[in-house]
Amino acid sequence: YAYSLKTQLNDKEKLGGKLSSDDKEKIEKAVEEQIKWLESNPAADVDELKEHKKALEEIVTPIMTKLYGQQGGAGAGGSPPPPHGHDDDSL
């Protein structure tokens, strides 16, 4: 999830070109922190991974909801699709 977000943020044609500079900076900082944690904790258990993914989602989800809401992509009461269909528990 974190690596997918990083790729999308760097793509000016996709997510990277649609976010405000403040929102992009918030997501980039959160993604970098999670990637550093992942690289420092290769033996982390599933619960730790889920906890860190949830922390990242708590930052990303409101921004994505706002973005897709502005574009009309989420629909009434809907939530934005996960980046590149990554809806599993992997960070």
Per run of 10 residues, the mean pLDDT along the chain (length 91 residues) is 92 88 94 96 96 96 89 50 55 67
Task: Return the structure tokens found at 34.
Answer: 């999670």
Residue 24 forms part of a structural domain: yes
Q: Is the distance from CB of 10 to CB of 16 less than 8 angstroms?
A: yes
Q: What is the rounded distance in angstroms from the CA atom of residue 71 to the CA atom of residue 82?
A: 16
Residue 41 forms part of a structural domain: yes
Residue 91 forms part of a structural domain: no
**Dihedral (Cα; 81, 51, 8, 75), 10-degree rounding:** 20
Domain count, the chain: 1
- Specify the pLDDT at position 78: 46
Instruction: Output the domain CATH number for residue 12.
Output: 1.20.1270.10
- Residue 23 CB-half CA count within 13 A: 16
Q: Which domain holds residue 30?
A: 2-85
Q: What pTM was estimated for this model as a whole? A: 0.72
Residue 40 forms part of a structural domain: yes
- Specify the pLDDT at position 90: 61
Distance in Å from the first CA to the final CA of the chain: 5
**Residue that has been written with the tokens 């922390």 in this structure:** 55
Element (H, E) at 10: none
